[in-house]
Amino acid sequence: MRNYDLSPLFRSTVGFDRLNQLFDNVFNSDESPSYPPYDIEKLGDNAYRVTMAVAGFREKDISITWKPNLLIVQGKIEDKEAAERAFLYRGIAGRAFERRFQLADHVEVKGAQLENGLLRIELALELPEAMKARQIPINGTGEAKVIDAKAA
């Protein structure tokens, strides 16, 4: 495995310690869980969706936890009937899982929906008003105005 030196990136930045930790976690992680499969979509400038294939899981079997900069999705099937059934072949995975997603600052979970074996989690980047770009008047002539981030 290669070691990457990110120190040039951090020479001219302030407050990106969490980014450094994120890179360390990604590059030093030997295990890469593949269950359950998932997609991450960008739906717009500030909208995202995580879709996970969770066939066989019900709402009560799935837990979604949102902490600052972290989304945790856990699943565990509590099906007593399945234990009593005799399967000739069992190809639908129903094993417990935990999937973690690192979220950028100010990304919020807007909702989740389970339909047809797909769990969809809607996310949005919600910048606080104080963090939005502003046009600053020179020599104090006028008021600072919030500007469109694309125009900046």
pLDDT tens sequence across 81-137: 666 778 888 887 778 999 999 898 889 999 999 999 999 999 998 877 777 777 777
Please report, rounded to a whole number, the percentage of residues in the chain having pLDDT higher than 70. 66
DSSP 117-142: TEEEEEEEE---GGGS-EEPPGGG-S
- Residue ranges and CATH numbers for the domains of the chain are 1-32 (no CATH), 33-126 (2.60.40.790)
Classify burial at 93, counting beta carbons within 10 Å of its beta carbon; exposed 0-12, middle 13-18, buried 19 or more. middle
Q: What does the pLDDT read at residue 152?
A: 45
The reported pLDDT for the residue numbered 19 is: 64
In this predicted model, what pLDDT tens digit does every residue of 70-82 receive, in sequence order?
999 999 987 666 6
pLDDT at 151 (0 to 100): 47
Cβ-proximal residues to 146 (8 Å cutoff; 6+ apart), any chain: 129, 132, 133, 134
Q: What pLDDT is attached to residue 29?
A: 56
Distances (CA, A) of 124 to 85, 102, 146: 42, 14, 20
Q: Which two tokens stand for residue 22?
A: 């994120």
pLDDT of residue 88: 86
Q: How far is CA 14 from CA 18, 20, 31, 79, 127, in A?
A: 11, 11, 31, 50, 19
For the chain, what is the mean pLDDT? 80
CB 124 within 8 A of CB 107: yes
**5 vs 118: which has the higher pLDDT:** 118
* Neighbouring C-beta atoms of residue 52, cutoff 10 Å: 22
User: Does the pTM exceed 0.75?
Assistant: no
Compute the average pLDDT of residues 4-19.
61
